[in-house]
Amino acid sequence: MTLNNVKNVCCIGAGYVGGPTCSVLALKCPDVKVTIVDLNRARIDAWNSEKLPIYEPGLDDVVKKCRGKNLFFSTDIDDSINKAELIFVSVNTPTKTFGMGKGRAADLKFIESAARRIAEVTTGHKIIVEKSTVPVKSAESLKKILLSNCKKNTSFQILSNPEFLAEGTAIMDLLNPDRILIGGEETEDGRAAMATLASLYRRWIPEEKILTTNLWSSELSKLTANAFLAQRISSINSISALCEATGADVDEVAKAIGTDSRIGPKFLKASVGFGGSCFQKDILNLVYLCESYNLTEVASYWQAVIDVNNYQKRRFVQHVIRKLFNTVTGKKIAIYGFAFKKDTGDTRESPSIDICRYLLEEGAQLHIYDPKVTRQQVTADLVDSAVSQESYEESQGLVHVCQGPYEAVEGSHAIVLCTEWDEFLLYDYQKIYDKMLKPAYIFDGRKILNQEKLEGIGFHCEIIGKNFS
């Protein structure tokens, strides 16, 4: 059975992927009714309010333009599934924290429960689009669950349509993507379903950017793209350590190699390490997949990307401690930036979390400021997740979330800059210096500050990949 004209789209999962993706779909397809559903009522209420649950530049405008017209946020999952001809599955797929594949494999319980729900309430024919990042062959599992639980006279086509947006630039990425990837079954019905989905994207994306592949290639491409991007960051971060040891400057090296058109200039910014919900999860997934096919060498090659990332975070903190006269116990340290990158309030796998944890283990008092991360989120990441009651109580006393950058530095020994927020460049650093204990240190883990200017004020300015020695 085929479907050409989609009038109702349902998106299961109103998170960082589902929310922006389907809001832009609604913007570009005014004749299609898009309903984004979620089990989490508070999240849906926030999508329906003035303060959206995620911070993403440009998102407010898109939502305001479409909400109540052809874009709806709801907890009535069954009704929305029932009415839709095409369903995006955008639920979370975190790394498993227990059992087989713990710490590496993706936990597919949210995908499975969404699939069971679809099977239970569906009548007629539906196109199910896998949007969440999933391990290769997930589409097959999705199909099995749907076919073994569906009612009579129902049929499904499963497509893989991975999302490549990056947080902080999601709306721009969605409006003008490098490519749209659609994977489907190599049958007449499979090709028809791919054409149906492509017809939605064609409203704003040129034909040549819409790529179609088989299901497994599409699923694997998403993991591979993220692994390649993360691998570039680990590569330049590994070189940052060598730059520090030899007196080279990693930005200069990155610029020099980036002008080679075969290498290219992007994703070569040395940092305290990559974070975010995707890179680590997807590489772990890839490693697990390789091991399950006995591809040991391939698995250890990709595992090294994660190992270097962990090394970078550890060595950054070791350097901070060494410079602060080998102890941070009882010292007040201002942390600038807690999000995993600028222009987002998301802290999933943020390098700041590990950096703060290492400093807390050493007994430092942290005064954290981030323009977009809430106090509750910092507390959830650093205090509530403490492994024991003892460490919970201890970290409760050592973690302070500040309302502004000047409050955070009052009487502090050092500033540790973890996120590359633009506003960090605009502060009055003389005022900051005056508020700090001397010698006043700044450790720039993003290589964004003006070293010369800060040293002119009197700071000891230590920049990753340059003068950490």
Residue for token digits 């993991």?
223
Choose the one of ligand UDX, ligand ADP, none that binds residue 12, judging by a C-beta under 5 to 8 angstroms depending on kind. Answer: ligand ADP
Buried b (16+ CB within 10 A) or exposed e, 355-386: bbbbbbebebbbbbbbbbbeeebbeebbbeeb
> From the list ligand UDX, ligand ADP, none, which binds 40 (C-beta under 5 to 8 Å, kind-based)?
ligand ADP
Q: What is the nearest approach in angstroms of ligand UDX to the Cβ of residue 274? A: 3
Q: Cα–Cα distance between 435 and 426 in angstroms, integer?
A: 17
Per-residue interface string for the shown chain with ligand ADP, residues 35-74, x marking contact by CB under 6 A:
--xxxx--x-------------------------------
Strand partners, 130: 89, 160
Among 38, 130, 163, 219, binds ligand UDX (CB under 6 A): 163
Give me the 334-373 binding string for ligand UDX, x by CB under 6 A, dash otherwise. Answer: ------xx--------------------------------
Query: Binders of ligand ADP among 71-110, rule CB under 6 A?
Result: 77, 90-92, 110
Residue 67: phi, psi to the nearest 5?
-60, 135
At its nearest, how many Å lie between ligand UDX and the CB of residue 134? 13
Name the β-bridge partners of 9: 34, 86
Token reading at 351: 């390098």
Q: Is 278 a catalytic residue?
A: yes
Render the burial of 275-313: b for 16+ CB within 10 Å, e for the rest: bbbbbbbbbbbbbbbbbeeeeeeebeebbbbbebbebbb
Q: Which is nearer to ligand ADP, 110 or 443 (CB)?
A: 110
Does 235 engage in binding with ligand ADP (CB under 6 A)? no
Choose between 16 and 302: whose C-beta lies nearer to ligand ADP.
16
What CA–CA distance (Å, rounded) separates 469 from 464?
10
Nearer to ligand UDX, 196 or 280 (CB): 280
Q: Which of 18, 135, 183, 275 binds ligand UDX (CB under 6 A)?
A: 275
CA–CA gap between residue 9 and residue 450 (Å, rounded): 49
Question: In the set 226, 240, 352, 365, which binds ligand UDX (CB under 6 A)?
Answer: 226
Q: How far is the CB of 347 from ligand UDX (least distance, A)?
A: 11
When asked if residue 145 is in the footprint of ligand UDX (CB under 6 A), the reply is: no
Sequence-distant (≥ 6) Cβ neighbours of residue 326 within 8 angstroms:
none
Query: CA 201 to CA 296: how far, in whole Å?
Result: 39
Contact 181, 218 (CB under 8 A): yes
CA gap 111, 134 in Å, rounded: 9
Which one is catalytic: 278, 356, 402, 418? 278
Instruction: Write each residue from 1 to 30 as x if it is in contact with ligand ADP (CB under 6 A), else as -, in one continuous string.
Output: -----------xxxxxxx------------
Burial class of residue 266 in the structure, from the number of CB atoms within 10 Å of its CB (0-12 exposed, 13-18 middle, 19+ buried): exposed
Footprint of ligand ADP (CB under 6 A): 12-18, 37-40, 43, 77, 90-92, 110, 113-114, 132, 277
Footprint of ligand UDX (CB under 6 A): 163-167, 226, 229, 233, 267-269, 271, 274-276, 278-279, 340-341
Binding positions for NAD(+): 13-18, 38, 43, 91-95, 132-133, 167, 278-281, 348
